[in-house]
Structure 1
Amino acid sequence: MADSRAQAPTRTYSYLGPRGTFTEAALAQVPEAVGQNWRSVNNVGEALGDVIAGRSDGAVIAIENSIEGGVSVAQDALATMPGLRIVGEYLVPVNFVLVARPGTKLEDVKVVNAHPVAYAQCHSWLDATLPDHGHIPATSNVAAASALFETELADAAIAPPRIVDSYDVEVLARAIGDNPNAVTRFLHVSRTTDIPAPTGADKTSLVAELPVDRAGALLELLQQFSTRGVNMSLIESRPIGDALGRYRFIIDADGHITDERVADALLGVRRFSPGVMFLGSYPRADKSPIEFDEKYADGVFAEAREWLSGLLAGSTSGTVSP
């Protein structure tokens, strides 16, 4: 008898390829992506464009590195491509190897293929070991290695350690990253409007613009969070592009949109910055519980609303009788 059970729909996820990249390693951590179609793309814009166009159900993109800071191209894309929602984040330890075509020796290396971010993270090692080397930028860490077999412009490439599983390369040096504790944070982005349930270890991301360029404007934006006891784990400025001195701010706030203190802070930001864009509330990758002063607990906000309701109802004490 033929199996009449309904088959689960096949989903597609876009990631910066080709196979073997750190982004693929991040995608492997996304539970709903396991066993689904993985679509390799050339850049962040293409990955997010796939999601907006419906070619993919989700995309994983790098957003921040512990050494280099925010990934500006990803921040700008999220701020200018509407209809996207962050639903998760994942951390990938970052380390690099220097690889070359078989038979190449370290002393033969004059030019290195490398993604600009990877190159920056290995700069000290390169300057000490290959002080006269040249650099050819690559679109990804894996593309840097694959280019060794497409052209002889470079003698070696900076790549992830797993590159040896995909290409016949010779490892000339291992652990060449300047910081052994380097970590890259990746985001899982989709079109859904559903917000993941709060876990107590959450993060809320948004983009906000200053309404005017004047002294104290940025302070007013920051006060929307500080006066509600909401910590910001990231705030970075990016030029809007329509005029000099005009910036938008990428903000990660500790907590979930359903937390009273976070919701109240977002209302304050919306009143202050009509250009605010909510990017999502989602579980933190490190699962670290959010710590905050109890005077900003949900019950405190609820009691304050009850007090105000009592005043509006005519209570002389400002409370509502049970």
Structure 2
Amino acid sequence: MSEQRKIGFLGPAGTWAEEALHANVPLAPGETRPYPSVYDVIAAVSRGEMDEGIVPIENSLEGSVSATLDMLAFEVENILISREIVHPVRHCLIARTALPLGSVEKIISHPHAHAQCRRFVRDRLPRAETEAANSTAEAVKIVSGSEKCWAAIGSRLAAENYGCVVLSDDIEDHADNQTRFVMLATDEAPQNLDRPYKTSIVCAIAHDQPGSLLQILQEFADRDINLTKLESRPSKKGLGDYIFFIDMEGKKDDKAIAGALESLRSKLASVKMLGSYPQG
């Protein structure tokens, strides 16, 4: 009898990460475990405590999740993206019991959720204080245990899990709000699936000089490789020093991509493979 796989997710129960996992991955009872932060999820996979983990990496409204990018770039060397999942996000305003919006004194949520619902909060709850939480589900959990006139921004699943009520739904500023999640593992994704693939890398230049970024991009343009993401992040070495996250369509072993990566490795200070995996 094979051992049951273990999948960690950003918790507590009721986060968008858990909802995306259940909506896209067949799961057996007891197969998942919540962790309090992105760091904890990735660290658990890295040390072998979990077989896989799911974390948010990018939102269509607020952009990249810096905690995830920084962990993949700087903190772990044995983790690869094995799959991506794109999941719609429909935020709700949630309270312990029904109450008028005008009586809400504080709104608690993850900073990305606050930002994704900025217009609703500004127009409907202009006097409410805002407070950050590690996740939307943690915010709902906090509200569920308080008798004060507090509300949380989170999922309907979280409201159900913690016995709360939805005061207003679909409060995000744009209806097509989506979050891209990545499944992480210590083994690379199977490369023989009949599906479109994406390859992700992070690279660094040796010295800042005119045309450095162009030299990187030219390797992909010359080979007709379509880039789906290009983002700079601080290298942690000083102001003005950056690393570059690049996503591209195709598998790492495709002739064009393999050639581009080989050329970049000969020119750049570092090129780190983050994964070659099925697209969401």
Q: Answer yes or no: same fold by TM over 0.5.
A: yes
State the TM-score bracket (shorter-chain normalisation).
over 0.9
Residue 28 of structure 1 aligns to a residue whose secondary structure is helix
The equivalent position to 2:170 in structure 1, one of 168, 175, 179, is 175
Q: CA deviation at 1:165?
A: 2.0
| Cα contact 2:6–2:31 (8 A) shared by 1 | yes
The Cα shift of 1:110 comes to: 2.1
**1:118 equivalenced with 2:120 (yes/no):** no
Residue from 208, 212, 219 that aligns with 2:203: 208
Cα gap change, 1:132 to 1:93, in 2 (>3 Å)? same
Which structure 1 segments of 5+ residues have no match? 1-6, 286-322
Q: Which of 25, 30, 42 is residue 36 of structure 2 equivalent to?
A: 42
**Structure with the greater alpha carbon radius of gyration:** 1
Shift of 1:243: 1.7
| 2:267 alignment partner in structure 1 | 272
Aligned match of 1:10:
4
- Which residue, 63, 70, 78 being the options, matches 1:76? 70
Change (3 A) 1:129 1:241: same
- CA RMSD, 1 decimal: 1.6
Greater Cα shift, 164-173 or 253-262: 164-173
Partner Cα separation in structure 2 for residue 118 and residue 235 of structure 1: 23
CA contact (8 A) 1:13 1:57 kept: yes
Written as runs of structure 1 = structure 2, the 5 A alignment for 1:1-322 is: 7-29=1-23, 31=25, 33-35=27-29, 37-80=31-74, 81-151=76-146, 155-193=150-188, 195-197=190-192, 199=194, 201-285=196-280
| Aligned counterparts of 1:50 and 1:153: Cα–Cα separation in 2 | 35
* Distance change (3 Å), C-alpha of 1:108 and 1:188: same
Return the alpha-carbon distance in structure 2 between the equivalents of residues 250 and 22 of structure 1. Answer: 24
Report the alpha carbon displacement of residue 33 of structure 1 after superposing the two structures with TM: 4.8
Give the AA of the match of 1:17: G
- Residue-by-residue CA offset, 1:127-164 (whole Å, 9 max, x unaligned): 01111221010111111111013445661111112223
Measured at CA, do residues 269 and 30 of structure 1 come closer, stay the same or move farther in structure 2, by a change above 3 Å?
farther
Q: CA deviation at 1:177?
A: 0.6
Q: Give 5+ residue unaligned stretches, structure 2.
A: none
In the aligned structure 2, how far is the partner of 1:31 from the partner of 1:146? 25
Following the alignment from structure 2 to structure 1, what is the Cα–Cα distance between the partners of residues 88 and 26? 21
Deviation, 1:118, is 0.4
| Equivalent position amino acid for 2:205 in 1 | L
What is the number of residues matched between the two proteins?
Answer: 279
Identify which range, 176-185 or 102-111, moves more after superposition.
102-111
Aligned-partner Cα distance in 2 for 1:70–1:254: 18
| Identity within the alignment, % | 33
Change (3 A) 1:178 1:166: same
Do the aligned residues in 2 keep the contact of 1:21 with 1:140 (CA within 8 Å)? yes
Distance 1:249 1:34, change over 3 A: farther
Cα distance in 2 between the residues matched to 1:19 and 1:178 = 25
Aligned residue for 1:291?
none
Secondary structure of 1:98 counterpart: strand
Q: Deviations over 1:43-94 (max 9, x none)?
A: 1110010011110001101011111111111011111111111111111100
Q: Distance in 2 between the 1:99 and 1:275 partners?
A: 46
The 2-side partners of 1:24 and 1:49 are apart by 18
Q: Measure the CA separation in 1 of the matches of 2:103 and 2:61.
A: 29
Closer/same/farther in 2, CA of residues 103 and 26 from structure 1, 3 Å limit: closer
TM-score by length of 2: 0.94
Pair 37,198 (structure 1): closer, same or farther in 2 beyond 3 Å: closer
Paired AA for residue 207 in structure 1? V
Q: 1:57 to 1:30 in 2, by over 3 A?
A: farther
User: So what's the TM-score if we normalise by structure 1?
Assistant: 0.83
The residue type paired with residue 156 of structure 1 is A
Contact kept, 8 Å, 2:82 with 2:188, in 1: the verdict is no
- Kindly indicate whether the alpha-carbon contact (under 8 Å) linking 2:89 and 2:177 is maintained by their aligned counterparts in 1: yes
